[in-house]
Amino acid sequence: MRGYLVANDPVRAAAFARSLDTIDEVIEDLGPRRQSDTLTVSTRADLDVVQAGAWGNLISVSDPAFVDDGNGMPLLAEATRLRKRFQNFTVETV
């Protein structure tokens, strides 16, 4: 089936999220959401919400901690760390 992803694996997604330097703990799974749904950051607590998904060989994460704060490049640093850890995989930053 070209063009279709397998179902999300929330256990793998949570495990991947836990492996990131920006995540201390996964507290709860907020359940599935549509790709068109957007999260608006309007309170400080919203910065704790990280989205992760794992579909077959594709893993995705959206973490507010990766936003460039002008003092460094947190997304680039994490991507570099992941490239060293997963040398046989392609790590893309968007």
Quote the percentage of the chain above a pLDDT of 70.
88
- The residue-averaged pLDDT of 56-65 equals 85
Q: Which of 26, 23, 25, 13 is nearest to 81 (CA)?
A: 23
- The residue-averaged pLDDT of 24-53 equals 84
Give this prediction's pTM. 0.70
Q: Which of 22, 12, 1 is nearest to 56 (CA)?
A: 12
Label residue 46 by pLDDT band (50, 70, 90): confident
For residue 1, pLDDT over 60 is answered with no
